Amino acid sequence: MVARRSYGKLVAFLAARTRDVAAAEDALAEAFAAALAHWPNRGVPDNPEAWLLAAAKRKAIDGHRAHKRSEAASAHLTLMAEELATVSIGEIPDERLKLLFACAHPAIDQEMRAPLMLQTVLGFDAAAIASTFLVSPTAMSQRLVRAKSRIRESGIPFRVPPREDLAERLPFVLDAIYAAYAEGWSDPMGTDASARAMAGEAIWLGRLAAMLLPDEAEALGLLALMLHSEARRAARRDGQGEFVPLSEQDAGLWDGAMMTEAENLLRRAAAMNAIGRFQLEAAVQSAHAVRCRTGTADWPAIVTLYDALWTMTGSAVIAINRAVAIAETDGAEAGLAALNALDPKPLSQYQPYWSARAHLLAATGAMDEARAAYDHAIGLEIDPAVRRFLQQKKARLAH
């Protein structure tokens, strides 16, 4: 419990003063090792976090002294020791938000921002992160080392940007958190405990961002979006592990407490009059959650929200979802017309495009074209349960 609560806070404190994330992690790892050696015999101290910080500060200074012998290094060591001594170990400031912004700095490769956050703020090892992001542990470890070196060598600052720059930088942090959640949400077999854990940790990061930035509407919107999505996890698969699409899920299995929390966050965000992408996407999920009360999603609201998202992002993924929503309000032919208005070339390898197209073609009676579209979707799908679902949908066309 101490490790979970304190890890990111202590790494952030040490890294902000040593300008070296890797060294901060090493020092804290040694402090935890010392705690495991001392606490069982001497008892857990009254302030475990302060004990760990004091031990880590000593390890950080000793480690730097062992590796640096030059006059310049001596000067840096003196400065580092002074900075580490500036804060009482009884009053450790929470600088995790600074660490999040350092991890999401534009100088860090985009695909490494989420893994870097997971390791530095939450303490995940490279192997656990690698399994989630589908790369080898060795490759992930090497990439994480390079990213941390980039922070040190480029002098990336550990600071929350000033208000005038926050709007430009905050999306990097929120996008990285959402990327971590999306990786944890993807669970091809529906039984991957590590994927569920990763999604939970991403939500924890979202809570951290919302707590440290309570006046940023998009931070609240992101947390609301993840909570609405996570509330439906239990309904994504049936008792045999088969895929259940959102429209067919048993709303009674949705987590009411999570949805209530998400709705409260959305209301707080809306009161700030600073609409953004995550708030709109969370509002779409909220319009689906209406089914718990009325028996049907609020499709007119969903279309309006997707209109706004399409204008804001120009995303083809949004456009596909918008076409499906239009079909619910104006009929399959109108939805298919919206889908046909898209450039098909960039979508040729995107399974949801073909499954949406197949569904709408079937609804208009174009069965041969629908079968061909289902064949495309089935060939592109990697989730066995979703592939079986699509095969069943195609088989039903004969009836």
CA dist., res. 178 & res. 198, Å (int):
11
Per-residue pLDDT of 102-124, as tens digits, reads 888 888 998 899 889 888 887 88
**Is residue 213 domain-resident?**
no
Which residues of the chain fall below pLDDT 70? Answer: 1-5, 63-93, 132, 186-196, 399
Q: What is the pLDDT of residue 142?
A: 94
Structural domain ending residue among the three candidates 92, 126, 159:
92
Structural domain ending residue among the three candidates 25, 57, 92:
92
CA dist., res. 117 & res. 200, Å (int):
14
Structural domain ending residue among the three candidates 60, 92, 124:
92
| Domain that residue 395 falls in | 298-399
Q: What is the pLDDT of residue 58?
A: 82
Q: How far apart are the first and last CA of the chain?
A: 56
**Is residue 344 domain-resident?**
yes
Q: Residue 368: how many CB atoms within 10 A of its CB?
A: 9
Q: Which domain CATH number covers 358?
A: 1.25.40.10
CA dist., res. 331 & res. 173, Å (int):
39
Q: What is the pLDDT of residue 1?
A: 45
**Is residue 41 domain-resident?**
yes
Cα distances from 173 to residues 4, 83, 233, 343, 379, in angstroms, run 21, 26, 24, 31, 35
pTM: 0.79
How remote is the C-alpha of 365 from its chain's centroid?
40
Q: What is the pLDDT of residue 77?
A: 43
Q: Is 124 left (phi over 0), alpha (psi -120 to 50) or beta?
A: beta
Q: What is the pLDDT of residue 70?
A: 47
**Is residue 312 domain-resident?**
yes
**Is residue 141 domain-resident?**
no
* Number of domains into which the chain is organized: 2
Q: Residue 168: how many CB atoms within 10 A of its CB?
A: 10
Q: What is the pLDDT of residue 71?
A: 43
Residue type, position 146, single letter: R
Cα distances from 136 to residues 140, 195, 337, in angstroms, run 6, 16, 43
Cα distances from 187 to residues 203, 246, 252, 317, 333, in angstroms, run 16, 15, 22, 20, 33
Q: What is the pLDDT of residue 89?
A: 47
**Is residue 117 domain-resident?**
no
**Is residue 72 domain-resident?**
yes
Q: What is the pLDDT of residue 67?
A: 56
**What SS3 state is found at 243?**
strand
**Is residue 207 domain-resident?**
no
Per-residue pLDDT of 287-302, as tens digits, reads 999 999 999 999 999 9
